[in-house]
Amino acid sequence: MKGYVILISVVAALGGLLFGFDTAVISGTINFIQPYFGLSEAELGWTVSSLLFGCIAGVFLAGKAGDRYGRKKVLMAAALLFFFSAIGSASAHSLSIFLIARILGGIAVGVASILSPMYIAELAPAKYRGTLVSLNQLAIVIGILVAFFSNYLLVNTGENNWRWMLLVMAAPAVLLFFSLFLVPESPRWLVAKNRNEDALNVLVKTSGKEFASAELKEIEETLKNQEESTFSDLLAPKIKPLLFIGIILAVFQQITGINTIMYYAPKIFANVGQSNDSALLQTILIGGTNLVFTLVAMGLIDRFGRKLLIVIGSAGMMLMLAGLSALYFTSHTSGVLVLVFILGYIAFFAASLGPALWVVAAELFPNRLRSKGMSIAIVSLWIACTIVSIAFPIMLEKLSGGITFLIFALICMANLVYVLKYVPETKGKTLEELEKEFDRKL
């Protein structure tokens, strides 16, 4: 049973791998597409962020489509979009075609960002849910590392190097599409569609025969006599506080600065005198650190809980960004010191807020509102990511690195205070138990 659940989670997490690859691969291309398309700093920000506009649309599409057609079928559609985005962006000879292809990829990223963790959460036994949903974050960081590594390997392949970098994504997209034929649909979605027998068969395979019937009854109880949900239901007095927690935590995950590092790391290193080859090599260290500390988080999240990890991580991120800011203010911006503080920041993020946000977002909302609640939270994440990604190169140019990274450090401190005060602990309970607990408390 454990092996079967891991298989399901690994397949679903391939969506996360593509999510990570597609968002990070652009970092290796910016020093080549900027002169190719003749982009200013502001235009570069908009071009890099074009993916994110697609993400916002993809999240909204994923919530509704996931409820209507099922998590599995919509993830298959996302795999096809990833494939066509890779082909389109790699072969683009005009900026408009490039942007359209990146937006298509963004739609796929938006779909994967909500449905992959949701699908895993709805299939995973409570005891292992934090670890298994974190597997999606692990896949995201593996995707980021693969993007950084392939960018480094392809950088000296000639004037079309950036095209080869973008084309690599087609391979895992094909793998995701065909792997999804091997996994079942979510039992919670099956019950919502009155396919209780099919849901029981899935639960027997994931939870075991002795627990499956009891779990099915719990799911039926939470969905019983409930009309089809609408987005306005999220504003009900007992749901609104959970919605705010999901939104604010998702926004903090982005405005603490993670994607400024992921998208613009080569540019940051170039600013302190590193060559393109050296800058791309250092991004591999960033990806490796991200991977190692995501594994650390997976080992700790079901033992120590989500909240403690976020608190410790936020404090560490704040200190690393403050140190990076101090380097700029004192003009000691050597490549080595910048790299040390960036790696420290990545380590704290990957061990805390990175995976914990996806776990908490998949646990907060009741069964009938999960896709819609996650949609609002994750679309807030992508809006925040878009704003930061557009603003960062301009901030770096106009405000200097010292002030820019100090702003991000202060945001990390605000996140720390918010989590201590408002975010509940969700470890070790079934989704139905959490639903009842929140219903009593709110």
Q: How far apart are CA 101 and CA 303, in angstroms?
A: 42
- The domains of the chain are located at 2-183+226-441
Half-sphere exposure of 79 (CA within 13 A, CB side): 23
Residue 419 pLDDT: 93
Overall pTM surpassing 0.85 (yes/no):
no
CA-to-CA distance for 172 and 142, rounded, in angstroms?
A: 12
pLDDT of residue 415: 94
Give the closest residue to 352 by CA, choosing from 249, 433, 246.
249
pLDDT for position 332? 64
DSSP for 370-419, written as a single string: HHHHHHHHHHHHHHHHHHHHHHHHHHHHHTHHHHHHHHHHHHHHHHHHHH
Fold type of domain 2-183+226-441: Growth Hormone; Chain: A; (1.20.1250)
Q: What is the pLDDT of residue 395?
A: 83
CA nearest neighbour of 123 among 239, 28, 18, 203: 203
> Do residues 21 and 143 make contact, with C-beta atoms less than 8 angstroms apart?
yes
Nearest CA to 169 out of 144, 132, 186, 133 is that of 144
Helix/strand/coil for 309 = helix
The pLDDT assigned to 275 comes to 60
Q: Are 291 and 138 in contact (CB under 8 A)?
A: yes
pLDDT for the residue numbered 337: 82
Asked whether 119 and 9 are in contact (CB, 8 A), the reply is no
| Amino acid found at 250 | A
Average pLDDT along the chain, 442 residues, taken 10 residues at a time: 81 89 85 88 81 85 86 94 95 93 93 87 80 83 86 86 93 94 89 89 84 84 67 83 92 87 69 63 82 89 89 95 87 74 92 88 82 86 84 80 90 95 83 76 60
